């Protein structure tokens, strides 16, 4: 039998895998946004229990072709322990073609290149690693325990050992006014690492963000709106330049499930994010996308001439320009409407006065 100790989580792409809990909990267990293993003390599973479970799987689940090693950072286990587990998997489950595990950046720094090469040769071919962000200030605020430079160093070592990496990014970690800067820093780090896979999650708050605000020591923090999260994701995708990276937002926390290969599918991903952003904005302002009222809210917001009371809830200043760009690409407004005039004449440029706004309107 295989005994599971809850809570137990796995990546979406390991839904069909046999899950073995090589360790329980997380050896770091200190990231400000993560409460997954707070109810567990970190401990390795006794090796004899793991070997017995693999033996049982060999007899009862002989068709197993993928194995995932949980919990939070099974890679922190001593290399000899992991090699014993991988050897048992190879013997008892000969059909297994992929063994993967969660890993923390610190695990990669602690293991030597030779150790990682041994693990790769023994069958551990894919690591799911929480990168979260490439912004050093945000990494510090969330208590990740590593800098962007150290993440790059660890990931580079894993790549040199022949392992594939699935890196996880968390949207919404930075306060909204820093979200775009945070996204660009993360894109830069992803470019440096150039992983095979990257996936974004959205930070969810069981309260109005107070618990997270207190953990990062920022009383002014407020959670990003759905539209702001989509804009952050768009900024991230737009600034990734590395090629051949599979990008996903299929985690349940996200507002829009996406999958595509960068750079091949970049334009398609950006279009989908723009469309979803506009929809989210429309829900926020209670205006139908592309309608005159929606156009008016966007244009008025861009010009800072509306108030939340008079024209619905306007987007934050940090997202106005991005909103206008999205609107311009996706406008379905009737010819001659204010919004069409704006899109044609304004081209994303903010008018300097109401007089200029009038002249733009008259050009249509
Ligand atoms: S390393 Fe991963 S599992 Fe551990 S606390 Fe941080 S996010 Fe959670």
8 Å CB contact between 339 and 333: yes
Work out which ligand 1 atom sits closest to the CA atom of 132.
Answer: 7
- Report whether pLDDT(159) > 90: yes
Q: What is the pTM of this model?
A: 0.81
Nearest to 216 by CA among 16, 4, 5, 32: 32
Dihedral sign for Cα atoms in the order 183, 186, 190, 191: positive
119 C-alpha to center of ligand 1: Å? 22
Nearest to 102 by CA among 47, 156, 37: 37
Query: What is residue 298's predicted lDDT score, i.e. its pLDDT?
Result: 57
Average pLDDT, the chain: 85
Average pLDDT over residues 155-168: 98
Ligand 1 pocket test target in 23, 76, 130, 173 with most atoms within 8 Å of CB? 130
Query: What is residue 302's predicted lDDT score, i.e. its pLDDT?
Result: 47
Work out which ligand 1 atom sits closest to the CA atom of 26.
Answer: 4
- More confident site: 154 or 364: 154
8 Å CB contact between 56 and 37: no
* Alpha-carbon gap, residue 54 to 36, rounded angstroms: 25
Ligand 1 pocket test target in 23, 35, 36, 70 with most atoms within 8 Å of CB? 36
* Alpha-carbon gap, residue 248 to 251, rounded angstroms: 8
Ligand 1 neighbours (beta carbon < 6 A): 26, 28-31, 34, 36-37, 72-73, 104, 130
* Alpha-carbon gap, residue 307 to 282, rounded angstroms: 16
Q: Which residues pair with 69 in a beta bridge?
A: 20, 101
- More confident site: 9 or 335: 9
Average pLDDT over residues 15-22: 96
323 C-alpha to center of ligand 1: Å? 33
Q: What is the DSSP string of 279-334?
A: HHHHHHHT--TTSHHHHHHHHHHHTT---HHHHS-PPPHHHHHHHHHHHHHH--PP
303 C-alpha to center of ligand 1: Å? 42
Q: Which residues pair with 165 in a beta bridge?
A: 127
How many other C-beta atoms are found inside a 10 Å radius of the C-beta of residue 284? 17
8 Å CB contact between 88 and 55: yes
Which pair of structure tokens corresponds to residue 69? 């090693």
* Alpha-carbon gap, residue 211 to 178, rounded angstroms: 19
pLDDT digits (tens, 9 = 90+) for 113-128: 999 999 999 999 999 9
Q: What is the DSSP string of 61-73?
A: -TT--EEEEESTT
8 Å CB contact between 37 and 83: no
Work out which ligand 1 atom sits closest to the CA atom of 36.
Answer: 8
30 C-alpha to center of ligand 1: Å? 7
Confidence of residue 295 (pLDDT cuts 50, 70, 90): low
239 C-alpha to center of ligand 1: Å? 26
Atom 6 (ligand 1): residue with closest C-alpha? 31
Say whether 262 sits in a helix, a strand or coil: strand
Atom 5 (ligand 1): residue with closest C-alpha? 29
The alpha-carbon radius of gyration of the chain (Å, integer) is 24
36 C-alpha to center of ligand 1: Å? 8
Confidence of residue 12 (pLDDT cuts 50, 70, 90): confident
358 C-alpha to center of ligand 1: Å? 54
- More confident site: 177 or 184: 184
- Report whether pLDDT(300) > 60: no
Q: Which residues pair with 82 in a beta bridge?
A: none
35 C-alpha to center of ligand 1: Å? 8
Helix (H) or strand (E) holding 192: helix 179-193
* Alpha-carbon gap, residue 144 to 140, rounded angstroms: 6
Atom 3 (ligand 1): residue with closest C-alpha? 72
pLDDT digits (tens, 9 = 90+) for 244-284: 999 999 888 999 999 999 999 999 999 999 888 878 877 77
Give the distance, in angstroms, between the CA of residue 200 and the centroid of all CA atoms in the same chain: 2
pLDDT digits (tens, 9 = 90+) for 305-345: 333 333 344 445 444 555 555 555 444 544 344 554 454 34
Query: What is residue 106's predicted lDDT score, i.e. its pLDDT?
Result: 95
Say whether 132 sits in a helix, a strand or coil: strand
Atom 4 (ligand 1): residue with closest C-alpha? 29
8 Å CB contact between 347 and 360: no
Among 6-15, 131-140, 310-319, the range scoring the smallest mean pLDDT is: 310-319
* Alpha-carbon gap, residue 9 to 40, rounded angstroms: 13
Query: What is residue 361's predicted lDDT score, i.e. its pLDDT?
Result: 38
* Alpha-carbon gap, residue 342 to 300, rounded angstroms: 11
Q: Please tell me what DSSP assigns to residue 24.
A: E
Domain ranges across the chain:
12-277, 286-363
* Alpha-carbon gap, residue 189 to 131, rounded angstroms: 9
Burial class (CB in 10 A: 0-12, 13-18, 19+), 18: buried
Helix then strand then coil, in percent of the chain rounded to 5, is 50, 15, 40
CATH superfamily of 12-277: Aldolase class I (3.20.20.70)
């Amino acid at each position: 039998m295989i005994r599971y100790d809850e809570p137990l989580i796995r990546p979406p792409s390991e839904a069909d895998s046999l899950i073995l809990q090589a360790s329980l909990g997380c050896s770091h267990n200190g990231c400000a946004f993560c409460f997954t293993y707070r109810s567990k003390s970190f401990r390795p599973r006794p090796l004899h229990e793991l070997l017995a479970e693999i033996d049982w799987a060999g007899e009862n689940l002989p068709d197993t072709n993928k194995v995932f090693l949980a919990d939070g950072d099974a890679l922190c286990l001593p290399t000899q322990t992991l090699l014993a587990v991988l050897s048992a998997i190879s013997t008892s489950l000969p059909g297994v073609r992929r063994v993967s595990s969660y890993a923390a950046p610190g695990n990669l720094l602690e293991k030597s290149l030779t150790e990682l090469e041994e693990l790769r040769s023994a069958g551990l071919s894919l690591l799911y690693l929480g990168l979260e962000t490439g912004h050093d200030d945000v990494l510090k605020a969330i208590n990740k325990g590593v800098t962007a430079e150290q993440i790059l160093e660890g990931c580079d070592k894993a790549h040199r050992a022949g392992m594939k990496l699935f890196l996880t990014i968390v949207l919404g970690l930075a306060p909204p006014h820093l979200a775009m800067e945070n996204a660009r820093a993360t894109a830069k780090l992803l470019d440096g690492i150039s992983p095979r896979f990257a996936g974004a999650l959205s930070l969810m708050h069981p309260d109005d963000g107070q618990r997270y605000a207190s953990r990062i020591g920022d009383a002014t923090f407020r959670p990003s709106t759905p539209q702001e999260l989509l804009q952050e994701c768009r900024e991230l995708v737009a600034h990734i330049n590395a090629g051949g990276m599979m990008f996903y937002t299929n985690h349940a926390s996200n507002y829009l499930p996406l999958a595509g290969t960068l750079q091949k599918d970049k334009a398609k991903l950006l279009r989908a994010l723009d469309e979803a952003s506009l929809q989210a904005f429309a829900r926020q302002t209670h205006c139908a996308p592309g309608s005159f009222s929606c156009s008016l809210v966007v244009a008025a917001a861009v010009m800072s001439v509306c108030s939340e009371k008079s024209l619905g809830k306007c987007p934050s200043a940090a997202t106005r320009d991005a909103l206008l760009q999205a609107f311009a690409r996706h406008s379905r407004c009737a010819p001659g409407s204010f919004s069409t005039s704006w899109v044609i004449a304004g081209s994303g440029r903010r008018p300097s006065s109401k007089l200029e706004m009038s002249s733009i309107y008259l050009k249509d």
